[in-house]
Amino acid sequence: MRTPSPPPRVLLLLAALSICVGSTALVAGDAAKNGSSSGGDAVVGTYLVVVCRADGPKEGGEALRAWHASLLATVLNTTTDAILHESPQQSGPLVYSYEHVVSGFAARLTARQLGELRRLQWCVDAIPCVNYRLMTTYTPTLLGVNSPVTGAWAHSMGEGVIVGVLDNGIDPRHASFSDAGMPPPPPGKWRGGCDFGGAPCNNKLIGGRSVTPGEHGTHTSSTAVGASVSHARLLRTDVGTASGMAPRAHLAFYEVCFDEECPSTKQLVAMERGAFVDGVDVISISAGDDTQKPFYQDLTAVGSFSAVASGGVFVSTSAGNGGPDEATVTNCAPWVLTVAASTMGRRVVSRIKLGNGVVLHGQTMGRYKAVKHRPLVYVPGHQFSDSLDVRDKIVLCDRSESPRTRGEMVRAAGGAGMISFNNVYRGRATAPRDNMTIPAARVSQADGETIMAYVNSTRNPTASLQFTGVEMDPTPRPAVAEYSRGPCNMSSLGVLKPDVTGPETSIIAAVPGTLPRGNASAHTRSFGMFSGTSMAAPHLSGIAAVLKRARPEWSPAAIKSAIMTTADVTHPDGSPIADDTTGMPASYFLMGAGLVNPTKALDPGLVYDLAAVDYVAYVCGLGYEDNFVNEIIAQPMQNVSCATVSKVAGKDLNYPSFMVTLTAAATEVEVRRTVTNVGEAASVYTAEVVAPKGVAVEVVPNRLQFGALNQRMEFRVRFRRDGGATNGTVEGSLRWVSDKHSVRSPIVVLDGSLNLV
Ligand SMILES: *[C@@H]1O[C@H](CO)[C@@H](O)[C@H](O)[C@H]1NC(C)=O
Ligand SMILES: *[C@@H]1O[C@H](CO)[C@@H](O)[C@H](O)[C@H]1NC(C)=O
Ligand SMILES: *[C@@H]1O[C@H](CO)[C@@H](O)[C@H](O)[C@H]1NC(C)=O
Ligand SMILES: *[C@@H]1O[C@H](CO)[C@@H](O)[C@H](O)[C@H]1NC(C)=O
Ligand SMILES: *[C@@H]1O[C@H](CO)[C@@H](O)[C@H](O)[C@H]1NC(C)=O
Ligand SMILES: *[C@@H]1O[C@H](CO)[C@@H](O)[C@H](O)[C@H]1NC(C)=O
Ligand SMILES: *[C@@H]1O[C@H](CO)[C@@H](O)[C@H](O)[C@H]1NC(C)=O
Ligand SMILES: *[C@@H]1O[C@H](CO)[C@@H](O)[C@H](O)[C@H]1NC(C)=O
């Protein structure tokens, strides 16, 4: 068999037009200031224009689009027909018309038009399109074994469930998307089309659209629902069986990115289509912009609200790669699952031998030719410049935000290799986050100190670098990776994020390949190894599909609750799951409720459920204007007035975790929850609390006796500062324990000193 190599990327010219044009190149305000010159008339970008739906037609489809065009026409000083006849692909101004997830349309606007529009009564808001980025760092390949066998598969492998993956493209002919043994989706369930540039759909890849064989999208799709492929090969090495988390679920793929840029308005279209037109059950999103915004400006939050609350769709998102600083987690809406990332005990080792004989193990992305006995020189960050004098030397440098750029500079200067070491925040984490073009190794902070001390100790320090391949930890002990950290930097939120942790580092899954010549019915079989929170989200999408199949009556919130309350915070031997950067036990800001345990999630005993009305009460409780509330909750309710609905504070949202703030001024907080019995009809649960340091926790009542399935019971938890002051963030837990179940929720108590917006 020929060694598969990735096909060239096909980037359609048309595609470029749909990216959020120019919004960074030209700031709207600047252009407007330049008055009537070309500045004000240049297209500055694509905006989601939110309009008051109440004024529009009752019906959707063409009538709605025509209405949107007529509104836009008044701003553009043109006719509705003229707008309707201009194709959005040919840079027509009306880019998308939304019907379900938000009342509004995406339009290309100049600064002047934007200014005019904002003055109009029917315009509720104009939100600039942003380019979400895929949240991965690539790790092209080597060997290693992935055996994702879990007990959950005995109950469900996601049969009949449709998972919609929103990403940058897919290789539809990959063996991971073969439908051998797959039944068709349940009759009438899939209502979408199939457009994969001529490749046929099948009972695995049932539909959607992609014209680009994207590496990232192929990888995330196969991670979520890929069929089992035995003897998967990576660089001519058999790495065993590759399989998605829900190998019997169906896949709908939506290409929403161009290369690595994913316009938020385009992602919103795919969410609408998947949830309200095509019929997907789970949506998987691995892109974001690592920023935190009010939910009405966050198009992932806007789109997922209606999908979850009205469509019953489960939405899995990644927590972002903004870490390791605190308060960097993104995708904060309580109606989505926010997934943090763990390592897997698989390392791609770059071996360093110092001139004094000391051997250290760093990590790198891929194979390189060994370099032996080269002079080793330390170059501090500020000394990096185009006149770097490092010919034939190995450069030791502080780990910057762009080791790739530094690597390029070292290579351009004729350097032989590069060793980068962590600052104290990144500590022990060595998973490479960049694709280097020279022999390279990323080492821990401690190893960096060792190397520095050696460099300082001798006049002519030397080192050798050697790629030694993948090393498997014989006892894989996942640790929480260096990516995002909670909480969300929004003090009004009241909800702990991230929710849960899934595996992400060094994930082996499908990547595009080339077909054997002359056999159109054959499959491609290439595999690659990537890391990033991008990889964690699709694991949870697949697990959600497994749960949806096994427990079809559960709401998205019930599935999330089951995943969270059964997650592991310790390894099987009882030792705590660690923070990969420090080696210390991971906090809830890192891992959410813990590391997902799909088998236990099938049978949680109790769930914390939420329905549309609860989310509406929560959004109103955030204090947003009615206009913005209605923008978010396009469905199932229209034109809500927060003055007339009951509101709920974030702390009282029926969420499976607890986060409260206690200060000298507010020494006591009470929160409410309701649990629903999904275990044995007759069962008794008692509350077991691990109180955070300096906080007294009282649960009332502390015993819940259920007599029926789906019976709901309410309880309250009182948090009180215990005598002295609490100091910083403290953690504890509440478990409802029966003879069969343990329903665990993390507790986080803040002292008000975290500087949140
Ligand atoms: C506005 O005009 C100034 C001065 O002529 C120029 O420097 C600037 O680039 C212009 N800005 C835009 C957005 O056209
Ligand atoms: C929507 O609500 C606002 C304020 O409550 C009201 O003025 C408006 O008439 C309502 N529109 C519809 C169509 O119900
Ligand atoms: C709008 O279009 C009309 C007819 O083409 C023209 O007379 C008018 O000046 C235009 N207005 C603006 C503000 O461009
Ligand atoms: C990494 O860099 C190599 C060499 O420049 C390139 O061939 C490869 O495509 C890159 N991989 C990724 C995932 O960027
Ligand atoms: C090595 O020397 C540099 C100054 O050249 C100093 O900043 C650093 O702390 C020293 N490191 C060790 C580990 O001795
Ligand atoms: C083409 O590929 C299919 C599927 O892998 C295989 O069954 C068939 O034998 C191949 N045909 C030829 C002519 O190689
Ligand atoms: C709070 O913690 C900080 C840092 O750990 C410590 O320096 C300080 O003494 C503590 N304050 C109290 C009142 O315990
Ligand atoms: C939250 O964001 C604000 C504004 O960007 C910043 O000043 C603050 O430091 C952030 N809080 C944390 C805990 O990072």
Which residue carries 């003897």 as its tokens? 231
Q: Residue 239: its pLDDT value, please?
A: 64
Higher-pLDDT residue of 133, 68: 68
Single-letter residue type at 693: K
Q: How far does residue 354's CA lie from ligand 5's centre (Å)?
A: 17
Q: Residue 27: its pLDDT value, please?
A: 30
User: Quick check: is 534 catalytic?
Assistant: yes
Q: Residue 724: its pLDDT value, please?
A: 65
Q: Residue 590: its pLDDT value, please?
A: 93
Residue 650 pLDDT > 80: yes
Average pLDDT over every residue of 425-441: 80
Separation of alpha carbons 296 and 293, rounded Å: 8
Q: What would the pLDDT profile of 127-152 be if each residue is shown by its tens digit? A: 998 888 775 543 322 212 233 344 67
Do residues 410 and 436 make contact, with C-beta atoms less than 8 angstroms apart?
Answer: no
Backbone torsions φ then ψ of 536, nearest 5 degrees: -75, -40
259 is written with which tokens?
């290369």
Higher-pLDDT residue of 324, 716: 716
Ligand nearest to the CA of 229: 6
At 3, the pLDDT band (50, 70, 90 cuts) reads very low
DSSP E strands: which ranges in 111-256?
123-128, 131-134, 137-139, 162-167, 194-195, 205-209, 233-234, 237-238, 250-255
140 Cβ inside 6 Å of ligand 4: yes
Instruction: Indicate the average pLDDT of the chain.
Output: 85
Distances (CA, A) of 532 to 419, 539, 573: 21, 12, 27
Higher-pLDDT residue of 205, 752: 205
Distances (CA, A) of 362 to 180, 368, 372, 407: 41, 14, 16, 16
The single-letter DSSP state of residue 203 is S
**Pairing status of strand 527-531 against strand 507-510:** antiparallel
The proportion of the chain whose per-residue pLDDT surpasses 70, expressed as a percent, equals 87
Residue 232 pLDDT > 70: yes
Q: What would the pLDDT profile of 582-625 be if each residue is shown by its tens digit? A: 888 999 999 999 999 888 999 999 999 999 999 999 999 999 99
Q: What would the pLDDT profile of 469-526 be if each residue is shown by its tens digit? A: 766 665 557 788 777 788 999 888 999 999 999 876 666 677 788 877 777 778 888 8
Which residue carries 């929160």 as its tokens? 671
N-terminal to C-terminal alpha carbon distance within the chain:
57
Ligand nearest to the CA of 639: 2
- C-alpha angle 689-691-692 in degrees, rounded to nearest 5: 145
Q: Residue 726: its pLDDT value, please?
A: 60
Higher-pLDDT residue of 106, 572: 106
Q: How far does residue 22's CA lie from ligand 1's centre (Å)?
A: 15
Q: Residue 556: its pLDDT value, please?
A: 98
Q: What would the pLDDT profile of 147-185 be if each residue is shown by its tens digit? A: 334 467 777 889 999 999 999 999 999 999 999 999 999
Ligand nearest to the CA of 448: 5
Q: Residue 140: its pLDDT value, please?
A: 25
Q: Residue 725: its pLDDT value, please?
A: 62
* 597 class by beta-carbon count within 10 Å (0-12 exposed, 13-18 middle, 19+ buried): middle
Beta bridge partners of 238: 233
Q: Residue 39: its pLDDT value, please?
A: 44
Distances (CA, A) of 520 to 9, 210, 296: 20, 18, 47
In 413-471, which ranges are continuous DSSP H helix? 445-457
Q: Residue 35: its pLDDT value, please?
A: 34
512 is written with which tokens?
């595009």
Q: Residue 1: its pLDDT value, please?
A: 31
Q: Please, which contacts does 91-95 make with residues 24 or more away whose CB atoms are closer than 8 Å?
A: 91/17, 91/43, 94/65, 94/68, 94/69, 95/18, 95/46, 95/265
State the helix-helix crossing angle for 299-309 and 612-621, rounded to 10 degrees.
150
Q: How far does residue 23's CA lie from ligand 1's centre (Å)?
A: 15
651 is written with which tokens?
């702390």
Lowest-pLDDT range of 55-64, 199-208, 231-240, 524-533: 231-240
Q: What would the pLDDT profile of 265-278 be if each residue is shown by its tens digit? A: 999 999 999 999 99
Residue 635 pLDDT > 80: no
Residues whose CB falls within 8 Å of the CB of residue 102, separated by 6 or more in sequence, listed in order? 48, 50, 268, 302, 303, 306, 631, 632, 634
At 98, the pLDDT band (50, 70, 90 cuts) reads very high
Separation of alpha carbons 28 and 483, rounded Å: 32
Separation of alpha carbons 44 and 24, rounded Å: 9
Higher-pLDDT residue of 531, 430: 430
Q: Which protein residue's CA is at the shortest distance from atom 8 of ligand 6?
A: 522
At 532, the pLDDT band (50, 70, 90 cuts) reads low
21 is written with which tokens?
């044009």
Average pLDDT over every residue of 398-425: 85
Catalytic pick among 68, 100, 174, 216: 216
274 is written with which tokens?
């998947």
Percentage helix, strand, coil for the chain under 3-state DSSP, each rounded to 5: 25, 30, 45
Q: Residue 96: its pLDDT value, please?
A: 92
Q: What would the pLDDT profile of 8-49 be if each residue is shown by its tens digit? A: 222 222 333 446 763 333 233 333 333 333 345 676 789 999
Q: Which protein residue's CA is at the shortest distance from atom 3 of ligand 6?
A: 522
Average pLDDT over every residue of 518-542: 80
Q: CA torsion sign, 736 to 565 to 482 to 233?
A: positive
Lowest-pLDDT range of 35-49, 70-84, 740-754: 35-49
Do residues 683 and 675 make contact, with C-beta atoms less than 8 angstroms apart?
Answer: no
Average pLDDT over every residue of 360-369: 85
Q: How far does residue 643's CA lie from ligand 2's centre (Å)?
A: 12
Separation of alpha carbons 441 and 407, rounded Å: 11
At 102, the pLDDT band (50, 70, 90 cuts) reads very high
Residues whose CB falls within 8 Å of the CB of residue 26, separated by 6 or more in sequence, listed in order? 39, 42, 44, 45, 111
Backbone torsions φ then ψ of 210, nearest 5 degrees: -160, 135
Catalytic pick among 167, 568, 614, 751: 167
